[in-house]
Structure 1
C-alpha cells in the first residue's frame, strides 16, 4: 500500500504498525528512485532512523539490493533488517581498511554520527562526525552521497522570521554542532576534489511516536512535568517524510555537494503545542521560563520546491502522539534536548 493522506490510520496500534507505516513508500519516492540506477548502501543504519529508512528503500525499490552497514551492537536490528529483505554488513566505520573493503554501491546514504553524550567524549564525537566522513568520502568517491547533517550547524535566528536558509553560513554554539560543520566540510572538500555528487541533508527534528519534540512535550504534559519554553519555537517533520526525502535526494544530487534543509515548513511555538496536548489530555500544562527571541529554525523552501510539503502534517502528528502517550506505549528514552541553547548535549 502506498503512503497517502487517504490511507492514514486513526491510531497507530503498536510498534509493528508504526514500523509498517514508516516503511510505506509514496509514489513520488518510487518515481525519484527510478531516476537513479544501482544498489543503495546505508552507512550507520543501526541508529534511530536507519532501520526504517532501509525498510522504506526496499519497499520502494524491491528489485534492488539495499545494504545496511553498522557495528550492530544490538543484533535484533540486523534481524529486523533481514526480515525486510535488507542485506547487512558488520563494519566499524572508524576502521579505514574495513570501509575501503565495502562493496562500492553507486548510491550511499550516510547516517553515522554521534550526538547524545557528545560532551562526555568530545574526541570521539569529532572522530565520528568529521574523521569518519573523510574516510567515507574518499572510499565512495565515485558514488552519489547523501550525508545526514543537522540544522544545528546554523546560528540562532529570530523566531518571527522564516528560519535559516541554505545560503546562511554555519556558525553554531557548542562542539557537537561544530563537529557537524566538520562533517559537512569533509564531504564538501572531497566532493570538490573528486567531483562526487551529493547532498548535505540538514535535518531538524524527525518525529517518531517513540521520540522527538512532540513526544517530549506530550509526555511532560501527561506526567505534569514543567515545560521550559526558553527555546520556545521549533520545526519538525514526520520521520517517514524525512526518510523519503533523504532517499529522493539521490535523484537531486549536485556536484559539488550542497546543503538542503529538511524539516516541517511551519515554525511552531512550544507553548502552543503544550496547550494542544493539554486540551487533548484534559490537563493544564505547567509552563516555565520565558520565550527567547531566537531559536534553531530552518527555512525549508528549497525542499518543499523539490518534494512538496510533507505528507504527514502537524495536526496528524499531534493526534498520533497524544494517543501513543496516553496509552503508555514504548519510547526510546532519548530526549531530543530541543530546549538546550548552549549546544551541550
Structure 2
C-alpha cells in the first residue's frame, strides 16, 4: 500500500516532458488561487521542475488561505505565499507584477442561490486580473461546463464547437473566458484558456466518489452515464505547459483524458477491485457533458496515468482507509445547478 507521503511525492515529481518545457521559463510564476484542490500539487510540480533545470526563479502562491495548513505546506516547500482577497482592490494592487500567471480562482459549489457572487468571482474579477497583469502570460482555468450536453454517440465537442452553457455557473465561466479573450486581443496579452473536465486524485473526484458509493452499499446513479476524467498530476503538468503555448488571441484548450468513459463500466471495474457487488439506479441518458481534448493531446501527448491505473490505486487507497476530501464534483448534474 502506498503511503500518503509516497503518493504526494509521486504527484509532485515532474515528468521529463514538463522539465524540458520549464527550461524555456523566463521569470517568476504566480499562482492565483493556489489553495484549492489542484493548486498545491501544481505549485510543487513547478518548483521541482525549476530545481531540475537549476532555475532560480520564484514561485508565488496567492489565496485567502482560510486553511492555514495549506499555506504552511507551501511555505515549507519553498513557495512564497501571499494572503489576499482578490475582490479587495487594495489587496490585489499590492501583488507583485509577475511575468507568468496561472489563474485558478473560481466559484462553483454554492453558486445556485449565490449568483451575484458567482458572477463577481467568475466574470468580473478576470477583467481586473487582465488589466493588472496585462504584460504577463496568463493560463486561465476554465471548465468543460461551457459546452452543452451532447449526444454520446455523436462525439464529444472540441474547441471548434461554440459554447452553449447550461445554468448560471457555466454561463459565468463562459463570461470569464470572454473577458480573457477580449483583453488578450485588446492588450496583446498572451493567454491560454484551460477548459478542464474532470481532474481526479485518490482523495476526490469522479472515481473516488463512485468507489465510496459502492463501499457504502449504495446504488450508483447512471443518469449521467458518461464522463471524461484526467489524473490531477497530468492536469497540473498540462496547466504549467500551457504557459508556453499562450497566445494573442487567446489559445483555448480542452483538458481531459482521451476516452469517453461509461459510468457503469468504471463502477463495474471498481466493484471488482473492491470485491463488492455494484447496484445501479437510473438509466443512461443519450446525452452527457463531454470534451474532446485532441488538441491538447497533440501539443502535450496523452495523459500519463490511465483510467485502469486510476481505478486500481483508488480502490487500494480506500480499502486501506485512505483519507478523502469532502468536495463532490456533482458530475451527475444535468441542469447546471451547482
Fold conserved (TM > 0.5)?
yes
The CA deviation at 1:124 is 0.8
Q: Is the 8 A contact 1:111 1:147 kept in 2?
A: yes
What is the distance in 2 between the residues matched to 1:107 and 1:78?
A: 21
The residue that corresponds to 1:342 in the other structure is 335
What does residue 41 of structure 1 align with? 30
Contact 2:158 2:254 in 1 (8 A): yes
* Aligned-residue offset at 1:137: 0.8
CA drift at 1:214: 0.2
Runs of 4+ off more than 6 Å: none
Q: Distance in 2 between matches of 1:91 and 1:249?
A: 25
Does residue 124 of the first structure (1) align with residue 117 of the second (2)? yes
Q: Secondary structure at the match of 1:334?
A: coil
Q: How many residues align?
A: 334
Name the residue aligned to 1:253: 246
Is 1:158 the counterpart of 2:151? The answer is: yes
Deviations 1:159-208 (A, max 9, x none): 12331100111111111111100111111111111000011000001011
Aligned to 1:8: none
> For residue 70 of structure 1, what is the aligned residue in structure 2?
63
CA distance in 2, matches of 1:281, 1:45: 33
Corresponding residue number in structure 2 for 1:32: 21
Give the corresponding residue for 1:143: 136
Q: 2:3 aligns with which of 13, 30, 37?
A: 13
Would the aligned equivalents of 1:42 and 1:68 in 2 still touch at CA under 8 Å?
yes
1:3 aligned residue: none
Distance in 2, matches of 1:81 and 1:31, equals: 24
**Residue 36 (structure 1) shift:** 2.9
TM-score by length of 1: 0.95
Matched, 1:191 2:184: yes
- Would you say 1:297 and 2:290 are equivalent positions? yes
SS in 1 for 2:194: strand
Q: 1:110 Cα deviation (Å)?
A: 0.2
Aligned counterparts of 2:242 and 2:267: Cα–Cα separation in 1: 33
Structure 2: gaps of 5 or more residues = none
**Aligned mates of 1:142, 1:113 — CA distance in 2:** 22
Maintained 8 Å contact 1:99/1:135: no
RMSD: 1.0
Give 1:278 deviation, angstroms: 1.0
Task: Please name the residue that 2:173 is paired with.
Answer: 180
Counterparts of 2:10 and 2:92, CA distance in 1: 32
TM-score (norm: length of structure 2): 0.97
- Give deviations 1:216-269, integer Å, cap 9, x for gaps: 111111111111111100010000000000000111111111210000011100
SS of residue matched to 1:283: coil
1:103-146 per-residue CA deviation (whole Å, 9 max, x = no partner) reads 11111000001111111311111111011111101100000000
